[in-house]
Amino acid sequence: MFGFGKSVTHKEIAPEELAAMLKDRSAIVVDVREPNELATGHIAGAINLPLSTFSPDQLPPNLEKTIVLQCAGGKRSGMALDRCAAANAAVDTHLAGAIGAWKAAGLPVVA
Instruction: Enumerate domains of the chain plus CATH numbers.
Output: 11-104 (3.40.250.10)
- pLDDT of the residue at 62: 72
- pLDDT of the residue at 3: 43
- pLDDT of the residue at 7: 53
pLDDT tens string for the chain (111 positions)? 344 444 567 899 999 999 999 999 999 999 999 999 999 999 999 999 999 999 999 999 877 899 999 999 999 999 999 999 999 998 999 999 999 999 999 999 998
- pLDDT of the residue at 2: 45
Q: Give 105's DSSP letter.
A: T
Burial of residue 18, with CB atoms counted within 10 A of its CB: 0-12 exposed, 13-18 middle, 19 or more buried: buried
